[in-house]
Amino acid sequence: MDSTVRLSDVAKRAAVGVGTVSRVLNGSANVSAATRQKVLHAIAELGYVPNLVARSLAANRTGLIAAIIPVIGNTQHSEVIQGMTDVLHAHGMNLMIGASGYSDQVELQVIEAFLARRPDAIYVTGVRHSEAVRSTLQRSGIPVVEGSNLTDRPIDTVVGYSNFNASVDLTRLLINRGYRRIWYVTVTRDFDDRIDDRLEGFRSAVSTGLELKTDVIRCENSFDGGAEAVRLAMASNVGVEAMIFATDVMAVGGLLECQRRGINVPARLAIAGFDDLTIAASINPSLTTIKVDRVDLGRKAAEIIVNRLQGNDHSSRIVDVGFQVVERDSTRRP
Amino acid sequence: MDSTVRLSDVAKRAAVGVGTVSRVLNGSANVSAATRQKVLHAIAELGYVPNLVARSLAANRTGLIAAIIPVIGNTQHSEVIQGMTDVLHAHGMNLMIGASGYSDQVELQVIEAFLARRPDAIYVTGVRHSEAVRSTLQRSGIPVVEGSNLTDRPIDTVVGYSNFNASVDLTRLLINRGYRRIWYVTVTRDFDDRIDDRLEGFRSAVSTGLELKTDVIRCENSFDGGAEAVRLAMASNVGVEAMIFATDVMAVGGLLECQRRGINVPARLAIAGFDDLTIAASINPSLTTIKVDRVDLGRKAAEIIVNRLQGNDHSSRIVDVGFQVVERDSTRRP
DNA sequence: CTGAAAGCGCTAACAT
DNA sequence: ATGTTAGCGCTTTCAG
């Protein structure tokens, strides 16, 4: 454990060359069992801990993966990170994390800071990035994994699900349940392709239904924002029957506002969300939403990275982890 | 941006020595304005990006901070990380993150893996660790910051709040509001000193009230667990008047169960939680709980680290960020 | 199968 | 103020 012990000390102690110690450390086959034992012994006696910084420089490989998500203190994105660390840790790799704050500029800054540390690969949230980000990432020469959405033109590899399709399916579910006057509530913020695609999915799904009466409004992505949206819907005189929220946070906020105002959900107003936060299944009534296994998405992203780094490059450039429309009570017509 | 450009290339281009380039890179004062300009020019022309791995080895300082939290996909702990990355990024440092999964063993493994990467400092969640962890951390020779709780015997430095005192204050609030038959709901899990201290705080606060009728039960730390606790309380024939949950997750689960069963909160049953999840302020009725600014806690932890690393060692070894008892409707006697 | 030697790209004395 | 040089601790040829 004493960090002043170097590889050369181990070599001396075991009476072998430094190359040999390095070989046993890296599991090279070309070491006799006897020598290996001697070295292992010396390592244990000295409490030697390899200096991974020196290894990184010499081997031109750090074992560090960089990941960028919009905000860290946010379950949806942190769950992906949890999944990534799970598999990376199992492979002796570690994760550096950074937040873009939903900003183009910050994203670029964070990426540049990361690249200076020579990560072996990088994960970025989303599939639409500024040109600067795209080219920086491309020129980096390391595997790039984009996540949490899908695109047919990834920078390198993408692992996610189609926010567009999910939104289409969710909207169609409501239409099939008989709802005709539907409001869609999206977020007052740019630079988030998941949110954008969800809105486009809604628009696409309702574009053919001539008998539909729909509208799109924007609110803050918070419980309060969702409550505000419900207030707006109730204040309007168009007789809104259903509201689809771009996020569960807003949907739950809307649902709670309905509780407060005695609006029966779904009898008077149906509500659907997106993300399947844990609360979605527990709230009253339980919330219809889109579910994605985000921890698994993170695991898959890390597995792709590990495979690429080990030279197993047979994996697809586009990995669809799928989604699930979870119908619950908030949209079940009485 | 081309990572094949080295510092020596810049030196050649600017017609100066490598030492000089290193000096302007590290902001040394001993460089004339003219030379600095020449170097800056060459850097821009070549698109040079310093190799921080090489710097780390040569300077014996990585600019990497390691942080370990129980689970990453969990707002309470991720918010701390968000705060840390905010200030670290502003200082050109980056964060490696790992999860202990509430396991002694895993915590030690992750710490050892991190130390091999020679971080400049390390943050660990909680203040009670195995002897192996304590001694490993102590021998590491780098600043160690423990967080999210308080202790008078930190490994090195601790920044947090007293879970014990918060629990005492919360319990006393209920007693002052006239509640006498109080159940405390804790978590079925070991190795979490925050949860342990909250329980002890409750015990301490009720130990003197002879007229009190209290009990402690254990449930899973989930919405369902909280609901289960409410069911148990209702099924008992001791006339529980108030329930204090060790976490907001359980408290919210309990509250939702009350909604379902038509149990009036707080008239029939008062409910209090811990953590001030965002939902606590929005749920019906709003939830009395303990609030801590966790993002700020993370910022403070990072500031302590940055200061220590810059040699400003005047900061205290024990930093109390405080907590706030937030009384809301769920405990306000009608 | 093993040892010796040459770097990896940078920083930090040490000269000048 | 600036150039030169010796490492930082490891991996990886290259011989043998």
The pLDDT tens digits of the residues spanning A42-83 come to 999 999 999 999 999 999 999 999 999 999 999 999 999 999
Average pLDDT over residues A174-199: 94
DSSP H or E run through A65:
strand A64-69
Does B124 map to a domain?
yes
How would you classify the pairing of strands A270-272 and A289-291?
A: unpaired
- Residues A207 and A281 placed together within one structural domain of the fold: yes
Question: What is the identity of the amino acid at B261?
Answer: R
Instruction: With a cut of 50, say whether residue A171 has pLDDT above it.
Output: yes
- Residue A197 sits in which domain range? 163-291
- Residues B226 and B128 placed together within one structural domain of the fold: no
- Residues B184 and B249 placed together within one structural domain of the fold: yes
Does A75 map to a domain?
yes
Total domain count, chain B: 3
* Residues 6+ positions from A95 with CB-CB distance below 8 Å: A64, A65, A66, A67, A81, A84, A85, A88, B96, B97, B98
Does A330 map to a domain?
no
What local confidence, expressed as pLDDT, does residue B24 receive? 95
Which of A94, A103, A120 best tests the B interface by mutation, with the highest count of B CBs <10 A?
A: A94
Q: Closest Cα partner for B243 from B289, B294, B291, B305?
A: B289
Are A73 and B75 contacting, i.e. CB atoms less than 8 angstroms apart?
A: yes
Candidates A53, A86, A110; nearest CB to B117 = A53
- Residues B229 and B204 placed together within one structural domain of the fold: yes
Does A139 map to a domain?
yes
- Residues B232 and B173 placed together within one structural domain of the fold: yes
Residue nearest to nucleotide D3 (CA to C1'): B17
Q: Do A116 and B224 touch (CB under 8 A)?
A: no
B3, B4, B8, B9 alpha-carbon torsion, rounded to 10°: -100
* Residues 6+ positions from A154 with CB-CB distance below 8 Å: A127, A146, A317, A318
Q: How many CA atoms lie within 13 A of B198 on its CB side?
A: 25
Does B331 map to a domain?
no
What local confidence, expressed as pLDDT, does residue A191 receive? 76
Nucleotides of C under 7 A from a protein CB: 1-14
Q: What is the CATH number of the domain that holds A32?
A: 1.10.260.40
What local confidence, expressed as pLDDT, does residue A1 receive? 43
Integer Cα distance of A237 and A193 in angstroms: 32
Q: For the residues of A5-40, what is the DSSP string, one character each? A: --HHHHHHHHTS-HHHHHHHHTT-S-S-HHHHHHHH
**Within B91-192, where are the H helices?**
104-115, 131-139, 163-176
Q: Which percentage of chain A shows pLDDT scores above 90?
A: 91
Does B199 map to a domain?
yes
Is the minimum distance from the CB of A194 to strand C below 7 Å? Answer: no
- Give the CA-to-C1' distance from B179 to C13 in angstroms: 71
- Give the CA-to-C1' distance from A58 to D16 in angstroms: 24
Candidates B71, B78, B281; nearest CB to A73 = B78
Read off the pLDDT of residues A119-155 as tens digits, 9 standing for 90 and up: 999 999 999 999 999 999 999 999 999 999 999 999 9
- Residues B81 and B228 placed together within one structural domain of the fold: no
Average pLDDT over residues A287-293: 98
Q: Do B94 and A96 touch (CB under 8 A)?
A: yes
Task: Enumerate the β-bridge partners of residue A67.
Answer: A97, A123
Q: How many CB pairs under 8 A join A and B?
A: 161
Q: How far is A19 from chain B (nearest CA, A)?
A: 20
Q: How far is A333 from chain B (nearest CA, A)?
A: 19
Q: Do B252 and A279 touch (CB under 8 A)?
A: yes
- Percent helix, strand and coil across chain A, each to the nearest 5: 45, 15, 35
What local confidence, expressed as pLDDT, does residue A28 receive? 80
Residue nearest to nucleotide C3 (CA to C1'): A17
- Residues B237 and B202 placed together within one structural domain of the fold: yes
Does A152 map to a domain?
yes
Taking contacts as CB-CB distances below 8 angstroms, the residues of chain A near B78 are 72-75, 78
Is the minimum distance from the CB of B30 to strand D below 7 Å? Answer: yes
- Residues A106 and A30 placed together within one structural domain of the fold: no
Specify the pTM.
0.95
Q: Closest Cα partner for B230 from B206, B199, B260?
A: B260
Residue of A nearest to B254 (CA): A282
Nucleotides of D under 7 A from a protein CB: 1-14
**What separation in angstroms does the CA of B136 have from each of B100, B150, B173, B322?**
15, 20, 41, 29
Last residue of a domain, one of B30, B50, B70: B50
Residue nearest to nucleotide D7 (CA to C1'): B58
pLDDT in tens, chain B (334 residues): 456 899 999 999 999 999 999 999 998 878 899 999 999 999 999 999 999 999 999 999 999 999 999 999 999 999 999 999 999 999 999 999 999 999 999 999 999 999 999 999 999 999 999 999 999 999 999 999 999 999 999 999 999 999 999 999 999 999 999 999 999 999 997 779 999 999 999 999 999 877 999 999 999 999 999 999 999 999 998 999 999 999 999 999 999 999 999 999 999 999 999 999 999 999 999 999 999 999 999 999 999 999 999 988 777 899 999 999 999 999 998 7
Integer Cα distance of B309 and B201 in angstroms: 35
Residue of B nearest to A98 (CA): B85
What local confidence, expressed as pLDDT, does residue B208 receive? 86
- Residues B222 and B124 placed together within one structural domain of the fold: no
Question: What is the identity of the amino acid at A71?
Answer: V
Q: Label each residue of A66-90 as H, E or C.
A: EEEECCCCCHHHHHHHHHHHHHHHH
SS3 B92: coil
Q: Do A99 and B112 touch (CB under 8 A)?
A: no
- Residues B298 and B241 placed together within one structural domain of the fold: no
- Residues A278 and A300 placed together within one structural domain of the fold: no
Which of B94, B100, B139 best tests the A interface by mutation, with the highest count of A CBs <10 A?
A: B94
Q: What is the CATH number of the domain that holds A170?
A: 3.40.50.2300
Integer Cα distance of B66 and B53 in angstroms: 16
Candidates B1, B74, B113; nearest CB to A94 = B113
Does B99 map to a domain?
yes
- Residues A209 and A260 placed together within one structural domain of the fold: yes
